Structure 1
Amino acid sequence: MSKSPFRRIIDAPDFWRLWWVGLIIATVRWVETVAVGVVVYQRTESAFLVAMMTMLRLLPMGLFGVFLGALAERLDRGRMLFVVVALMAGTSAIVAILNATGRLEIWHLAFASFVNGCGWCTDNPVRRVMIGEAVGREKMSLAMSLDVGASNASRMVGPVIGGTLLAGAGLQGVLLLSTLMYGAALAAVLTIRAHHAHAVQAGPVLARIAEGLALARSDKRIRGVLIVTIIYNVFAWPFTSMIPVIGRDRLHLGPEGVGLLATMDGIGAFAGALVLALWLTPRWYGRAFVGGVLCYMVTVVTFALSQSPALAGAALIVTGIGGAGFGTMQATLVYLASPPDMRSRILGVLTVCIGIGPLGFFWLGWLADRIGSHNATAVTGALGLLAMAATWHWWKEI
């Protein structure tokens, strides 16, 4: 009897440990995103500052992603992952202490978002490369589907936990939970058996970065994925920062309602990732990637213009389904197209493209303060569709 798709990689213990670490970190990210967004908006009533909190989590990707990709080829990735998780745990603990002593300011939350964003930008060149090494090339798509599925599951439970905990225990409860969860992820990192050190030829870091950029520019498949990734992260992903604002001002929801609304996106994404894990074949990888982005942008506009919480929630479910196609195939397509000795570098370049997202958050936050959060979100989604149409020649090879 043939094994199910999931049983085919269940005999790779390191994969499941890395999967667990990713699930915990992603859940904390969503818990904090919703809770911090609500708190910042309550204190400042500025949609721009709410967008900036999420932007700061992405900014390190653009600043450091390509350097970390080159660095990850020289260091023990397991140790590097341990340091990263420890840094995020320590940051949450310090912010919790500041809040408990009544000294927490908005800039503290901004700084913590940036520091934790530094940890996030190592995910592709470190943790996901380790996943590829643990399961092998032929199972990378399935592994990524399960990993993205875990990330999407965190989008189901994270916002609800964040909103509910914020309403019941305040920001302090959120910060304490974040610290404890990071501690659990740290314990999981310690159980990873393989060191995942990758021998590379000696050479200056900048020269190795230049080699990675040259490959990304010359390979049509990689170049196409990077272009679509930039468009998604400038015109699509930033809308998530407006969910707390739209939920409160346009849909008149409280913290629990905002958390539940944000969960809808995760429900759709989890379902989409599950379908991809079970049935997606290699010939459909590119179509799932591009189609997911187009679906995402159309439903972002629908969500922004909705006046009913039910309709807005339904739109977010479909948004999540589209996001699953994009998120699952993004790293998979780049990983499969890259030579083994350059994967960390190319995934570092991908991280930089994701890190361009702060431009979108800045734009969306600025526009929201002028024409309203829902109008700004709708306009930005429409601009994303136009950008996809304008760049079709460069990504059609995907």
Structure 2
Amino acid sequence: MQARTGVLGVPDFRRILLVGLLVSIARWLEMLVIGVVVWQQTHSAFLVALMTLLRLLPMGLFGAFLGVAADRVQRRSALILMLWVQAVSAAVLALLAYVGMLAVWHLAVASFVAGIVWGADNPVRRMMLGEVVGAHRMATAVSMDVVANNASRIAGPALGGTILAAAGVGAPFVLSLVLYAAAVVAALRLAHRSTVLPPRGSVLREMRDSFGLVLRTPGMAGVMVVTLIFNLFGWPAGSMVPVIGQEDLRLGADGVGLLAGMDGLGALIGAALLVPLVRPRWYRAIYAGGAAMFCGMYVVFALVGQPVPAAVALLLVGVGSAGFASMQATLVYTTAPPELRSRALGVLSACIGLGLLGFLHLGLMANWLGAATATALIGVEGLLALVLTRRWWREPISPRDR
């Protein structure tokens, strides 16, 4: 309790937390709405998966670059710029929707732009979390950030589905614009200024060194292996929730929104429990176990065929994601040397971005086998991958993790 009170007593931590909450509500709202709209226009599970894939592509392409670049700029300024880009994108989508010109390719471009901003979140906003609270309170800070993020996974899809059903396609994007504008106001109030590091060499050389860091630092390779598995075989399954909700469970847009929010509710509960209970020696077990639970419960979700059991399965998906997400940035931040943390978080973003291959894999399987069967299969693949890579992610923890 003291740790939580201490973290919340830092004004800039509260502001960074608020920015993350507002952006996450808008992100999950947009992902749900875009998935529903694309399915309604095309009835293509592949194109639905492609929209999320396009959000991941910039992470894979630019994640390491963003980690290097974040050390060379003032992070507060970078955060404000990121928020303005998202606000403009939401405004354009709302305008196109209201004039009846919104097309799938517009949503694709907006998803790609959103992915660039999302890829910068770890080396910019999450790095600022550690800077304002200190490494010794990073686990608590990230756990609370995950609580906020997963509260948004309840609010975002529920708001998106409800507003889409009641007011049409443009209204959810107007709400996104309002959320991004509020986040800009919170970011402008930040007093923290990061240390701008001088270049150590060319950007390409620093990017190469960033990947070398992962191989050289004890324990970090295992963190990245679990991240890759989660993003290749776990996270893509979420893109099929709008499809399975409409096609197999026969739900409308508002029902799909509520269903999609269930994993957020589970993650909120899981992350709230982690804040007071987590101990450094448990970090890796919680991390890998959360990924396994996430994959396994998506298998159940895909196969049950009834709304209530499907909702319960997604609730447990969320509990698993809370364990994984709370430990992910914490393990990277506490394992990497202080001067290399931003670049390590950039590599983490790149590993997350490689999940686009998982979305492509799932989209192709869904077109061939159907969304439910494909979702169950990719979840099984994730569980098998965790078993086969056990020797890497069960590495002994480093002194920094103790």
**TM-score normalised according to structure 2 size:** 0.97
Counterpart for residue 48 of structure 1: 46
Alignment of 1:176-191 (within 5 A): 176-191=174-189
Task: Report the Cα offset of residue 297 of structure 1.
Answer: 1.1
**Which residue identity lines up with residue 59 of structure 1 in the other structure?**
L
User: Could you tell me how far 1:8 is from its partner in structure 2?
Assistant: 1.6
Give, in angstroms, the shift of residue 200 of structure 1: 4.1
Asked if 2 retains the 8 angstrom alpha-carbon contact of 1:68 and 1:125, the reply is: yes
How do 1:240-279 and structure 2 match up within 5 A? 240-279=238-277
Residue 201 of structure 1 deviates from its aligned partner by 5.2
Distance in 2 separating the partners of 1:214 and 1:59:
22
Could you tell me how far apart the structure 1 residues matched to 2:7 and 2:100 are? 48
- 1:2-151 matches, within 5 Å, as 4-151=2-149
Question: Percent sequence identity over matched residues?
Answer: 48
- What is the match of residue 152 of structure 1? 150
Q: Deviations over 1:303-338 (max 9, x none)?
A: 110111110011111110011000000000000001
Distance 2:352 2:286 in 1: 19
- Name the structure 2 match of 1:337: 335
Could you tell me how far apart the structure 2 residues matched to 1:377 and 1:24 are?
29
Q: Gapped runs of 5+ residues in structure 2?
A: 398-402
Counterparts of 1:267 and 1:97, CA distance in 2: 32
Which of these residues, 310, 313, 326, is aligned with residue 308 of structure 2? 310
Partner of 1:324: 322
Matched letter for residue 380 of structure 2: A
Q: Deviations over 1:240-296 (max 9, x none)?
A: 100000001111111111011111100110000001001111111111101111111
The equivalent position to 2:347 in structure 1, one of 344, 349, 370, is 349
> Which residue number corresponds to residue 400 of structure 2?
none
1:276-287 matches, cutoff 5 A: 276-287=274-285
Contact 1:200 1:341 in 2 (8 A): no
* CA RMSD, 1 decimal: 1.0
Q: 2:291 aligns with which of 287, 290, 293?
A: 293
- Contact residue 160 and residue 257 of structure 2 kept, 8 A: yes
In the TM superposition, residue 197 of structure 1 has moved relative to its aligned partner by 2.7
**Aligned mates of 2:377, 2:27 — CA distance in 1:** 27
User: Residue 268 of structure 1 contacts residue 320 of structure 1 at CA under 8 Å; is this kept in 2?
Assistant: yes
Q: Structure 1 residue aligned with 2:218, among 220, 229, 236?
A: 220
Cα distance in 1 for partners of 2:106, 2:137 equals: 42
Structure 1 equivalent of residue 390 of structure 2? 392
Deviation track 1:210-260 (CA, whole Å, cap 9, x = no partner) reads: 222111012231100001100100000001100000001111111111011
- In structure 1, stretches of 5+ residues that fail to align are none
- The answer to whether the 8 Å contact 2:72/2:199 transfers is no
Does the 8 Å contact 2:237/2:375 carry over to 1? yes
Aligned structure 1 segments of 4 or more residues deviating by more than 3 angstroms: none
Pairing partner for 2:228 from 214, 217, 230: 230
Partners of 1:187 and 1:143 lie apart in 2 by 21
Please give the alpha-carbon distance, in whole angstroms, between the structure 1 residues aligned to 2:150 and 2:277. 18
The SS at the match of 1:252 is coil
> Which whole-Å CA distance do the structure 2 matches of 1:210 and 1:32 have between them?
34
**CA shift for structure 1 position 358:** 0.8
2: CA distance, partners of 1:43 / 1:102: 13
